[in-house]
Amino acid sequence: MLKRTRSMPRLLGLVTLALLGGALAAPKKVTGYGSLGITDGKPGGTYTLVLGDSPQSLNYYGVIDNNLGLIAQQLFDGLVEFNYATYKVEPALAESWTISPDGKVYTFKLRQGVKWSDGQTFDADDVVFTYDQIIMNPEARAGDAASFKLDGKQVDVKKVDANTVQFVLPRPSPAFLLQMRSFIMPKHKLLKFSQEGGAKPADINNAWPSNVAAAEVVGTGPFKLGSYTAGQKVTLVKNPNYWKVDGKGTKLPYLNGLDFLIIRDPQAQVAQFLAGNVDQLNISGAQFPDLKQREVSGAPFKVMRSTALFGSPPFVAYNFDAKDAALAKVFSDARFRRAMQSALNRPRIIDAVYNGLASLPGHGVAPVNKEWYTNTTKQLGTFDLKAAAAALDALGLRDTNGDGVREISRGKNLEFDLTYATDSSVYPAIATILQNDFGKIGVKVNLRGILAKNLLSTGQSGNWEMILHAFGDQPDPELRKPIWQPGGALYYWHRSLQPAKDGDRPNVARMAPWEKEIYTIFDDAATTTDRSKRKALYTRWQLLFAQNLPVTPIAKPENIGAISNKYGNYIYNLGVIPGYNPVPLIYQK
Amino acid sequence: MLTYTLRRILGMIPTLLVISAVCFAVIKLQPGSFTDQYLEDPRFTRETAAAISRQLGLDQPALVQYGRWLWGVVTRLDFGYSFLQNRPVVSVIGDLLGWTVFLSLITLLFSWLVAVPLGLYTAFNRHGWPASIANFLGYVGLAIPDFLAALLLVALVLQLGGTNVGGLFSPAYIDAPWSWAKVADLLGHLWIPVLALGLEGVAGLMRQMRASTLDVLTQDYIRTARAKGLPQHRVIWRHAVRNAINPLISLAGLSLPSLISGTIIVSIVLSLPTIGPLLYDSLLNKDQYTALTLLMLSAFLLLVGNLLADLALAWADPRVRYA
Amino acid sequence: MTALPAPTSTPSPWALAWRRYRKSRLGVIGGWLLILLYASALLAPFLAPYSITAQHEGLSYQPPQRLHIVHEGQVRTPFVYGFKQERDPVTFARKNVEDRETPIPVQLLVRGEPYRFLGVPTTLHLFGVPEGAYFFPLGTDQLGRDLLSRTLVGGQVSLTVGVIGVLISFTIGILLGGVSGYFGGWVDNLIQRVVEVLLSFPRLPILLALSTLIPARWPSTWVYLGIVAVLALIGWAGLARVVRGQVLAARGLEYVTAAQAIGARDLRVILRHITPNLSSFLVVTATLALPGYILGESALSFLGLGIKEPMTSWGLLLKDAQNFQTLRLYPWLLIPGLFIFLAVLAFNFFGDALRDAADTQSR
CATH number at residue A567: 3.40.190.10
Mutate to test the interface with C, among B18, B30, B159, B315 (most CBs of C within 10 A): B30
Residue A141 class from Cβ within 10 Å (0-12 exposed, 13-18 middle, 19+ buried)? buried
Q: Give CA–CA dist C84/C65, Å, rounded.
A: 12
Nearest Cα to A287, choosing from B218, C328, B186, C57? C328
For residue A447, the distance in angstroms to the closest alpha carbon of chain C comes to 6
In a domain, A318, yes or no: yes
Residue A248 class from Cβ within 10 Å (0-12 exposed, 13-18 middle, 19+ buried)? exposed
Last residue of a domain, one of B36, B62, B89: B89
Sign of the four-CA dihedral A511, A513, A514, A519: positive
Cβ <8 Å between A422 and C90: no
Exposure string for C90-125, b = 16+ CB within 10 A, e = fewer? ebbbbebeeeeeebbebbeebebbebeeeeeeeeeb
Provide the pLDDT for residue A170.
92
Q: Summarize the confidence of residues A439-464 as an average pLDDT.
A: 87
CATH number, domain at A371? 3.10.105.10
CATH number, domain at B151? 1.10.3720.10
The conformation of residue C11, written as its DSSP 8-state character, comes to P
* Minimum-distance CB partner of A447 among C211, C308, C322: C308
Q: Give CA–CA dist A523/A173, Å, rounded.
A: 11
Which chain A residue shows the shortest CA-CA distance from B36? A457
Q: Are residues A574 and A538 in the same domain?
A: no
- Count: domains in chain A: 2
pLDDT exceeds cutoff 80 at A404? yes
- On whether the CB atoms of residues A63 and A56 are closer than 8 A, the answer is yes
Q: Are residues A350 and A445 in the same domain?
A: yes
Q: Give CA–CA dist A465/A317, Å, rounded.
A: 8
**Packed helices C25-42 and C335-358: angle between N→C axes, nearest 10 degrees:** 130
For residue C66, the distance in angstroms to the closest alpha carbon of chain B comes to 26
Residue type, B207: R
Last residue of a domain, one of B28, B61, B89: B89
- Number of helical (H) and strand (E) elements in chain C, helices listed first: 13, 5
pLDDT exceeds cutoff 70 at A343? yes
Provide the pLDDT for residue C152.
93
ipTM over cut 0.90: no
Q: Are residues B246 and B173 in the same domain?
A: yes
| Predicted model pTM | 0.87
Q: Are residues A428 and A295 in the same domain?
A: no
- Helices (DSSP H) in A395-497: which residue ranges? 427-440, 455-461, 481-484
In a domain, A109, yes or no: no
Percent of chain A with pLDDT over 90: 62
pLDDT exceeds cutoff 80 at A103? yes
Mean pLDDT computed over every residue of chain C = 81
* Minimum-distance CB partner of C310 among A290, A351, A435: A435
Partners of chain B (3+ Cβ pairs below 8 A) = A, C
- Count: domains in chain B: 2
- Helices (DSSP H) in chain B: which residue ranges? 2-29, 46-56, 62-76, 89-124, 129-143, 146-159, 171-174, 180-217, 220-227, 232-234, 242-244, 246-255, 258-261, 264-269, 276-284, 288-316
Lowest mean pLDDT among A97-106, A355-364, A434-443, A444-453: A444-453
* Minimum-distance CB partner of A447 among C302, C309, C324: C309
Q: Are residues A380 and A437 in the same domain?
A: yes
Q: Are residues A437 and A582 in the same domain?
A: no
Lowest mean pLDDT among A539-553, A562-576, B126-140: B126-140
A560 phi/psi in degrees, rounded to 5: -125, 130
B86 vs A contacts (CB less than 8 Å)? 56-57, 59, 62-63, 205-206, 209
The conformation of residue C295, written as its DSSP 8-state character, comes to H
Mapping DSSP to helix (H, G, I), strand (E, B) and coil, where does residue A154 land?
A: strand
In a domain, A437, yes or no: yes
Q: Left if phi > 0, otherwise alpha if psi is -120 to 50, otherwise beta: which for B168?
A: alpha
Query: Residue A389 sits in which domain range?
Result: 314-556
A150, containing H or E segment: strand A149-150
For residue B307, the distance in angstroms to the closest alpha carbon of chain A comes to 32
In a domain, A191, yes or no: no
B91 vs A contacts (CB less than 8 Å)? 211
Which chain B residue shows the shortest CA-CA distance from C250? B319
* Minimum-distance CB partner of A355 among C92, C304, C309: C92
Looking at the DSSP assignment, which residues form a beta bridge with residue A149?
Answer: A154
Long-range pairs, C207-213, Cβ under 8 A, ≥24: C207/C300, C207/C303, C207/C305, C208/B30, C208/B283, C208/B284, C208/C303, C209/B26, C209/B29, C209/B30, C210/C305, C211/A450, C211/C303, C211/C304, C211/C305, C212/A450, C212/A454, C212/B30, C212/B31
Cis preceding-peptide flag for C310 (omega within 30 of 0): yes
* Minimum-distance CB partner of B284 among A205, A229, A451: A451
In a domain, A71, yes or no: no
Q: Are residues A545 and A579 in the same domain?
A: no
Which is it for strands A415-421 and A466-470: parallel, antiparallel or unpaired? parallel
Q: Are residues B115 and B62 in the same domain?
A: no
For residue A474, the distance in angstroms to the closest alpha carbon of chain C comes to 28
Q: Are residues A283 and A381 in the same domain?
A: no
- On whether the CB atoms of residues A438 and A340 are closer than 8 A, the answer is yes
In a domain, A572, yes or no: yes
- On whether the CB atoms of residues A308 and A367 are closer than 8 A, the answer is no
pLDDT exceeds cutoff 90 at A554? yes
- Helices (DSSP H) in A60-142: which residue ranges? 66-75, 124-129
Cβ <8 Å between C193 and B29: no
Q: Are residues A302 and A321 in the same domain?
A: no
Domains of chain C: 67-135 (no CATH), 149-358 (1.10.3720.10)
Last residue of a domain, one of B89, B121, B153: B89
Q: Are residues B53 and B167 in the same domain?
A: no
Query: What residues of chain A have any CB closer than 8 angstroms to a CB in chain C?
Result: 266-267, 270-271, 274, 285-290, 292-293, 296, 348, 351-353, 355-357, 415, 417, 419, 422-423, 428-429, 431-433, 435-436, 446-451, 454
Cβ <8 Å between B247 and C281: yes
Q: Does C325 touch chain A (CB under 8 A)?
A: yes
- On whether the CB atoms of residues A304 and A570 are closer than 8 A, the answer is yes
pLDDT exceeds cutoff 50 at A42? yes
Provide the pLDDT for residue A14.
42
Side-chain-side CA neighbours of B57 within 13 Å: the count stands at: 16
Q: Where are the beta strands (DSSP E) in C240-317?
A: none
* Minimum-distance CB partner of A211 among B95, B162, B277: B95
pLDDT exceeds cutoff 50 at A22? no
Percent of chain A with pLDDT over 70: 95
How many degrees, rounded to 5, is the angle at CA B271 between CA B270 and CA B273? 125
C57 vs A contacts (CB less than 8 Å)? 348, 352
Dihedral of the CA atoms A547, A552, A558, A560 (nearest 10)? -150
Exposure string for B293-318, b = 16+ CB within 10 A, e = fewer? bbbbbbbbbbbbbbbebbbbbbebbe
Q: Are residues A417 and A484 in the same domain?
A: yes
Q: Are residues B130 and B22 in the same domain?
A: no
Which chain B residue shows the shortest CA-CA distance from A276? B163
Q: Give CA–CA dist A469/A450, Å, rounded.
A: 12
Q: Are residues B275 and B316 in the same domain?
A: yes
Q: Are residues A475 and A447 in the same domain?
A: yes
B257 vs C contacts (CB less than 8 Å)? 199-200
Q: Give CA–CA dist C315/C298, Å, rounded.
A: 5
The conformation of residue C351, written as its DSSP 8-state character, comes to H
The conformation of residue B184, written as its DSSP 8-state character, comes to H
Q: Are residues A506 and A464 in the same domain?
A: yes
In a domain, A84, yes or no: no
Query: Residue B53 sits in which domain range?
Result: 1-89
Provide the pLDDT for residue C4.
45
CB atoms within 10 A of CB A71: 25
A444 vs C contacts (CB less than 8 Å)? none
Cis preceding-peptide flag for A253 (omega within 30 of 0): yes
Provide the pLDDT for residue A529.
81
C226 phi/psi in degrees, rounded to 5: -60, -45
Provide the pLDDT for residue C6.
45
Residues lower than pLDDT 70 in chain C = 1-10, 201-203, 211-213, 215-216, 220, 252-255, 270-271, 275, 277, 298-299, 301-305, 359-363
Q: Are residues B191 and B64 in the same domain?
A: no
- Mean pLDDT in runs of 10 for chain B (323 residues)? 81 86 83 74 74 81 88 87 85 86 86 87 80 81 79 89 86 87 91 84 82 77 75 75 75 71 77 85 85 87 82 69 49
Nearest Cα to A382, choosing from A358, A352, A353, A346? A346
Cβ <8 Å between A288 and C303: no
Q: Are residues B108 and B187 in the same domain?
A: yes
A546, containing H or E segment: helix A531-548
pLDDT tens across C189-217, in order? 888 888 877 777 666 777 777 766 676 67
Q: Give CA–CA dist A516/A518, Å, rounded.
A: 5
Q: Give CA–CA dist B32/B188, Å, rounded.
A: 44
Q: Are residues B84 and B102 in the same domain?
A: no
Q: Are residues B28 and B173 in the same domain?
A: no
- On whether the CB atoms of residues B202 and B174 are closer than 8 A, the answer is no
For residue B313, the distance in angstroms to the closest alpha carbon of chain C comes to 8
For residue B203, the distance in angstroms to the closest alpha carbon of chain A comes to 26
For residue A382, the distance in angstroms to the closest alpha carbon of chain B comes to 31
A560 vs C contacts (CB less than 8 Å)? none
Q: Are residues B174 and B196 in the same domain?
A: yes
CB atoms within 10 A of CB A496: 13
Dihedral of the CA atoms C31, C32, C37, C38 (nearest 10)? 70
Mean pLDDT computed over every residue of chain A = 89
Q: Are residues B100 and B85 in the same domain?
A: no
In a domain, A69, yes or no: no
